[in-house]
Amino acid sequence: MIPTVLPTYNRAPLAFEKGSGAWLTTTDGRRFLDFGAGIAVNSLGHANPALIKALTDQAGAVWHVSNLYQIPAQQALADKLVEHTFADTVFFTNSGTEACELAVKMARKHFYDAGQPDRTDIITFSGSFHGRSSAGIAAAGSEKMTKGFGPLLPGFVHLDFGDHDALREAVKSPTVAAIMIEPVQGEGGIRPVPDQCLKGLRDLADEHGILLIFDEVQCGVGRTGKLFAHEWSGITPDIMMVAKGIGGGFPLGAVLATERAANGMTAGTHGSTYGGNPLGCAVGNAVMDIIADPAFLAEVNRKAALLRQKLEGLTAAHPGVFTGVRGSGLMLGLMCKATNTDIVKAGYDAGILTVPAADNVIRLLPPLNLTDDDIAAAADLLDKAASTI
């Protein structure tokens, strides 16, 4: 008989019913240290009082009105995002996938309106992930995600991550509209793009009059120790997607853009019944109020350095299991010698949740407000897990 919930994910046999900070408790009372944070979503941990208050205050006021009307919480969040970034304008969605879809549409519309309707191609890179919609899987183009789903949408050019010669050649085509990249690849195995490469992309985009799109769905909102990952490089995109951490666990996404890139997005070009709804935006405002504070980000960087140091110690202690650490801020990857999914499983058995990624990496994406004790506990639990491999 077909299960009522089809196993499109490889689910662990763990059912959580409560959470607090970086910890989750199962229905049968076992506690787990959550170093996955719902895949970089629970940016401020579980049951965060400020987020609960924002959500319940809004829920007690008004849940939904639709984008046919002004939404004060949405306006406030857009103002905050613009205040803290390169962007002039913000479009709201419910998820990262929808944000990626919109970014692609926006780039193409920009050139259509500029009298260059043939500029429709989006350059993407191996290992990238932009969601599982039709455009998302066409953008990523990995057989794992596309097989069996019929013809891929046209209009995407796939290059190898780090192949600079191919990139320099590809941008010469008059059909290219944009380069789309994650400043730190998440699903691809926590691979940060070096600052000078982001600069190179910006220069190439400017030289050829094309747009630069950063997908910060996983690496944004304080995860790397800056509000957005690209800030480390000083390079700004024309369009940026945000989701996951901005909602702190509530479904919320956004596309941020410069006035120039967004100029084609007139009434009727983007719509979403729930995108930017009062509940999501109320939580988003609370998240931004906490994470955009420089003192909070300084703490993220301090804790990231501490965690990284512990992980390097762990790697040295278990050379048969781990080969190294990479990443940025609290978006860290343990490169594995043993099979990453076996280590994730050993982590469950020891009491810590981590997330596998491509390139035989396990991802550590803890809540950004974790404590020093949580870091010490993570090191102990991962050590325990590695000892069983």
Nearest residue to ligand PLP, scored by beta-carbon proximity? 96
Q: Flag whether 97 is marked binding.
A: yes
Q: The tokens of 256 are what?
A: 């941020």
Per-residue x/- mask for ligand PLP, residues 336 to 355, rule CB under 6 A?
A: --------------------
- Work out which of 42, 58, 218, 224 binds ligand PLP, going by CB under 6 A: 218
Q: At what angle do helices 72-84 and 278-291 cross, to 10 degrees?
A: 30
Q: What is the dihedral of CA 92, 182, 214, 103, to 10 degrees?
A: -50
- Work out which of 100, 190, 201, 314 binds ligand PLP, going by CB under 6 A: 100
Per-residue x/- mask for ligand PLP, residues 101 to 140, rule CB under 6 A?
A: ----------------------------xxx---------
Our finding on whether 34 is near ligand PLP (CB under 6 A) is: no
Closest to ligand PLP by CB, 100 or 279: 100
**In 3-state terms, what secondary structure has residue 273?**
coil
Q: Flag whether 132 is marked binding.
A: yes
**Distance between CA 311 and CA 304 in Å, rounded?**
10
Q: Which helix (H) or strand (E) holds 171?
A: none
Our finding on whether 187 is near ligand PLP (CB under 6 A) is: yes
Q: Flag whether 168 is marked binding.
A: no
**Number of amino acids touching ligand PLP (CB under 6 A):** 16
Closest to ligand PLP by CB, 243 or 290: 243
Burial class (CB in 10 A: 0-12, 13-18, 19+), 10: exposed
To ligand PLP, the closest distance from the beta carbon of 240 in angstroms equals: 11
Q: What is the 8-class DSSP label of residue 224?
A: T
Our finding on whether 181 is near ligand PLP (CB under 6 A) is: no
Nearest alpha-carbon partner for 313 in 363, 258, 243, 383: 383
Nearest alpha-carbon partner for 296 in 326, 327, 328, 330: 330
To ligand PLP, the closest distance from the beta carbon of 378 in angstroms equals: 22
**Distance between CA 377 and CA 28 in Å, rounded?**
21
Closest to ligand PLP by CB, 130 or 270: 130
Our finding on whether 97 is near ligand PLP (CB under 6 A) is: yes
Our finding on whether 95 is near ligand PLP (CB under 6 A) is: yes
Give the side-chain half-sphere CA count within 13 A for 284. Answer: 30
**Residues forming the site for ligand PLP (CB under 6 A):** 39, 95-97, 100, 129-131, 182, 186-187, 215, 217-218, 243-244
